[in-house]
Amino acid sequence: MTRDQASGLRMMNQPNNDKVKVIAVSGGKGGVGKTSVSINTAVALAEKGKRVLVLDADLGLANVDVMLGIRAEKNLSHVLSGDAELDDIIVREVTKGIGIVPATSGTQAMVELTQAQHAGLIRAFSEMRTQFDILIVDTAAGISDMVLSFSRASQDVLIVVCDEPTSITDAYALIKILSREHGVFHFKIVANMVRSLREGMELFAKLSKVTDRFLDVALELVATVPFDENLRKSVRKQKLVVEAFPKSPSAIAYHGLANKIMTWPIPQQPGGHLEFFVERLVQRKPTEEDRASE
């Protein structure tokens, strides 16, 4: 770590960034509902008085853009190159209490960031003036280094699954690589697009059966989101279901998840969790060369 990075991390010992909870939303497979979970839960948390930042680590702002009819001129890549500050790229017009950090363009892996970009990322977080309580990271599909870095760095990892063989196998592959190579052993499962609570529990049981058999991990079912036509209807209105149809089954489920999140412990280490998050985010996996020089 360079001197710049270390001093950037020390700067995070400020009340501004104290006690931030960081949650990654992953899933392995695309289209399982990660963005819907991230953004609706963020709004539900905001309605309960939390200040929430959603870091869109998916490709572009495509999903959120389409969902909400917003367009971002600058994104995380401008922050990494030093052309913008995090505070300046946050999209705030979505709904009161939440801000969105648009994704970096392309799929550049966090582990492939240059030294200057590493320092830029740490500086960007440490200098952030925006105050928030919860950071939700909406990761991309797949098991790219970027997805792994964000999941490894977060305090809680939510895995969204639906009842399709490919969703279950992709979620399993993600859990396997996170546990075997990145030291993540606890996963909070969201069963999405299910027809009943029972179907949600069966889906969770299917996934747990394989993880129990082959991996040393702990899974917890934290939400069952019903299949809900209102979700698609609200997208057509460029609104979120929690706002457009607050009494619909999925909105109730997102609120239930938000209530649970409010009970999860907040990190107590000095500087809150943001320092830890950024430190882990930019950590490289040791290379053969590193090992040889040890």
Residues that bind ligand ATP (CB under 6 A): 27, 30-36, 58, 63, 141, 192-193, 225, 227-228, 231-232, 235, 250
Beta carbon nearer to ligand ATP, 219 or 225: 225
Amino acid identity, residue 101?
A: V
For the chain, where are the E strands, in sequence order?
Answer: 21-26, 52-57, 91-95, 98-101, 134-139, 156-162, 186-194, 218-226
Instruction: Report, in Å, the least distance between residue 186 CB and ligand ATP.
Output: 21
Nearest approach in angstroms of CB 226 to ligand ATP is 6
Nearer to ligand ATP among residue 255 and residue 280 (C-beta): 255
151: nearest Cα among 293, 281, 267, 9: 281
Nearer to ligand ATP, 35 or 211 (CB): 35
Task: Report angle CA 89, 250, 241 to the nearest 5 degrees.
Answer: 45
CA distance 97 to 122: 24
CB of 38 to ligand ATP, least distance (A): 8
Least Cβ distance, residue 150 to ligand ATP (angstroms) = 14
Indicate the residue among 185 and 227 with the shorter CB distance to ligand ATP: 227
By C-beta, is 90 or 194 nearer to ligand ATP?
194
Complex with ligand ATP: residue 58 or 156, whichever CB lies closer: 58
**Any idea how long the chain is?**
294
How far from chain centre, in Å, is Cα 63?
14
User: Please, which residues have CB within 8 angstroms of residue 125's CB and are 6 or more apart in sequence?
Assistant: 8, 12, 17, 86, 274, 277, 278
Residue 64 CB coordination number (10 Å): 23
Alpha-carbon span 159 to 34, nearest angstrom: 8
Which residues have CB under 8 Å from 183's CB, separation 6+?
152
CB of 43 to ligand ATP, least distance (A): 14
Rounded to the nearest whole angstrom, what is the least distance from the CB of residue 236 to ligand ATP in the complex? 10
Query: At closest approach, how far in Å is the CB of 193 from ligand ATP?
Result: 5
Nearer to ligand ATP, 23 or 225 (CB): 225
**Using CA atoms, how far apart are residues 160 and 203, in angstroms rounded to an integer?**
11
